[in-house]
């Protein structure tokens, strides 16, 4: 077997793996964001540069905040695609789903245990937590997230977070819980903020489609 065939197979495998992690909607990565969302050029470049210079020595992560539809998940997914395609171990988890998986582990022996879920999230090269703050917050749920984040904090491992809440709003939501204070305090040292412009791209696309359909106004 020639080296080029092996390389091609490996690359295809990694690209498929990345798409499976983020979902087909987000498969376009940075290229598509650059093409379709020029208003995000500054934030896209910041994320792209962060991904380009990523190594196992990287300790500072990113906190992507903005209103619903502002493309937080799209940017986080583009980072995941980039890193998985280069062979890094990345976990991309919606926070509510992660917590639901932990709850499911209490009722069944056939799924991953809480310990296994925490170990996996704590150990990968990059952990992406999508939609932090959208889940129902309890001392127990924050405790699980805080354990994961504290493990990564101590090991100097980076995290990328997306949230509808900026740092102050996150503290307001979580600060009443002891584990919430511990979590937000650690995040302050672990991430750099990327604030996205308040434009709901889902609504924008529908409006543009309707305008195209109606044809040019005379
Ligand atoms: N790679 C991409 N390039 C361009 N557009 C994309 C890409 N991936 C997703 N989109 C589109 O970007 C828009 C923004 O979606 P996204 O889910 O990222 O918003 P969000 O900020 O995460 O919203 P929410 O807070 O509701 O989760 C959607 O219309 C989506 O289809
Ligand atoms: Mg999202």
CATH number at residue 111: 3.40.50.300
CA of 154 to the centre of ligand 1 (A): 32
User: Are residues 51 and 80 in contact, defined by beta-carbon separation less than 8 angstroms?
Assistant: no
Q: What is the pLDDT of residue 199?
A: 75
pLDDT at 60 over 90: yes
Within a domain: 142: yes
**218 assigned to some structural domain:** no
Q: How confident is the model at residue 213 (pLDDT cuts 50, 70, 90)?
A: low
Residue nearest to atom 18 of ligand 1 (CA): 71
Residue 36, pLDDT > 60, answer: yes
Tell me: pLDDT of 193 over 50: yes
Is 92 inside a domain boundary? yes
- Regarding the beta carbon of 204 and ligand 1, being less than 6 Å apart is answered no
pLDDT value of position 1? 46
Asked whether residue 217 is assigned to any structural domain, the reply reads no
pLDDT in tens, 2-14: 455 566 788 899 9
Angle at 56 between CA 96 and CA 156, to 5 degrees: 65
Looking at the predicted structure, is the pLDDT value of residue 109 above 90?
A: no
Both structure tokens of 45: 């470049």
Structural Rg of the chain based on CA atoms:
19
Mean pLDDT of 55-82: 97
User: What ranges in 86-192 are assigned the alpha helix state H?
Assistant: 95-107, 114-123, 139-154, 167-174, 178-190
pTM of this structure: 0.90
User: What's the average model confidence in pLDDT over 143-165?
Assistant: 97
Residue nearest atom 29 of ligand 1, based on CA coordinates: 202
Mean pLDDT of 84-96: 96
Q: With a cut of 70, say whether residue 101 has pLDDT above it.
A: yes
Distance CA 29, CA 74 (A): 7
Return the pLDDT at 9.
87
Query: Whose alpha carbon is nearest atom 12 of ligand 1?
Result: 71
For residue 37, give its domain range. Answer: 3-205
Higher pLDDT, 211 or 81: 81
- pLDDT at residue 212 is higher than 50: yes
Q: How far apart are CA 204 and CA 197, in angstroms?
A: 13
216 found inside a domain: no
106 CA to middle of ligand 1, Å? 33
> Which of 23, 26, 80, 204 gets mutated to test ligand 1 (max ligand atoms within 8 A of its CB)?
26
Question: Is 214 within a domain?
Answer: no
Asked, for residue 80, whether it belongs to a domain, the answer is yes
Measured from the alpha carbon of residue 65, the closest ligand is: 1
Q: How many folded domains does the chain comprise?
A: 1
Give buried/exposed letters for 63-79 (b at 16+ CB in 10 A, else e): bbbbeebbbbbbbbbbb
Q: Whose CA is nearest to atom 24 of ligand 1?
A: 68
Work out the mean pLDDT of the chain and round it to a whole number: 91
Find the mean pLDDT for residues 94-98.
95
User: Is ligand 1 within 6 A of the CB of residue 7?
Assistant: no
Does residue 169 lie within any of the structural domains? yes
Candidates 196, 199, 190, 193; CA nearest to 157 is: 190
Tell me whether residue 207 is exposed, middle or buried, using C-beta atoms within 10 angstroms of its C-beta: 0 to 12, 13 to 18, 19 or more: exposed
């Amino acid at each position: 077997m020639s080296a080029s065939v092996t390389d091609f197979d490996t690359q295809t495998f990694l690209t498929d793996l990345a798409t499976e992690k983020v979902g087909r909607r987000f498969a376009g990565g940075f290229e598509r964001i650059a093409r379709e969302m020029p208003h995000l050029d500054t934030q896209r470049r910041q994320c792209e540069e962060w991904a380009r210079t990523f190594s196992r020595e990287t300790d500072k992560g990113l906190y992507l905040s903005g209103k619903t539809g502002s493309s937080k998940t799209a940017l986080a997914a583009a980072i995941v695609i980039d890193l998985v395609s280069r062979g890094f171990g990345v976990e991309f988890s919606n926070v509510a789903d992660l917590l639901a998986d932990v709850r499911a582990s209490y009722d069944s022996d056939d799924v991953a245990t809480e310990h296994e879920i925490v170990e996996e999230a704590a150990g990968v090269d990059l952990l992406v937590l999508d939609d932090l703050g959208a889940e129902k917050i309890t001392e127990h749920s924050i405790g699980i997230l805080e354990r994961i984040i504290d493990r990564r904090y101590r090991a100097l491992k980076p995290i990328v977070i997306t949230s509808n809440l900026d740092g102050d709003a996150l503290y307001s939501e979580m600060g009443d819980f002891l584990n919430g204070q511990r979590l937000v305090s650690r995040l302050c040292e672990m991430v750099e903020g990327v604030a996205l412009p308040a434009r709901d791209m889902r609504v924008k696309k529908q409006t543009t489609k309707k305008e195209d359909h109606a044809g040019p106004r005379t």
